[in-house]
Amino acid sequence: MVTVVYMVRHAESPFKLGEERVRGLSEDGEIATKKVTELLMDKDIAAIVSSPYKRAVQTVQGLALLKGLTIKEYEELKERPIKGLEYRLPEQELLKAIEQSFENKEYCLEGGETTTQAQKRAIPVIKQVLREYNGKKIVIGTHGNIMTIIMNYFDECYGYNFWRSTSKPDIYQLTFDDNNSLIEVERLWT
């Protein structure tokens, strides 16, 4: 019996320093959530869990309403800060730091979280959800970095280049066997 997890990366959300947790979706992001709902509405979803960040919850909210499901939020599924949240960094420096964090899982910038630390907080929740909904289909509202870090735990081929190739929003169907081994990944977003 397989368990299917739909990793839903949040839709477009304008960056605002200091508002990581509460920033919502852009107008285009809100429109894109309708397509997320359309792509998943015919799936027999047993549960929807999410990062507590507003943009992740908003991206799966339409599906939850359609299915009559409550979104269960987990603090452990929040986005991974590669650096402290109180300062800005030029984009190229930020990208280089993220790339290094996949090459060396103990690397982060001052005030940030390493890939190993992020896996240690998120993976127990993923394993709990896989046990609780064994043989069922689950949606996870997530972010690009933590989604890639979670997938990297199960298969190290998911790293910086994969992360750079994802979109906002994005949907990946992860199929797990009875031993919670990742056996297949399929991108559903087009």
Q: For residue 47, what are the β-bridge partners?
A: 138
> pTM for this one?
0.96
pLDDT tens-digit series, residues 52-88: 999 999 999 999 999 999 999 999 999 999 887 767 7
For the chain, domain boundaries: 3-187
What tokens appear for 87 in the block? 């300062």
What tokens appear for 25 in the block? 């979706």
Q: Is the pLDDT of residue 38 over 80?
A: yes
Residue 46 vs residues 3, 100, 134: alpha-carbon distances, Å: 11, 37, 10
Query: Regarding beta strands 170-176 and 3-9, do their DSSP bridges make them parallel or antiparallel, or are they unpaired?
Result: antiparallel
Q: What is the mean pLDDT of the chain?
A: 95
Give dist(CA 120, CA 153) in Å, integer. 10
pLDDT tens-digit series, residues 100-150: 999 999 999 888 999 999 999 999 999 999 999 999 999 999 999 999 999
Q: What is the pLDDT of residue 25?
A: 96
Residue 38 CB coordination number (10 Å): 12
Task: Report the chain's C-alpha Rg in angstroms.
Answer: 16
At the top level of CATH, the class of 3-187 is alpha beta
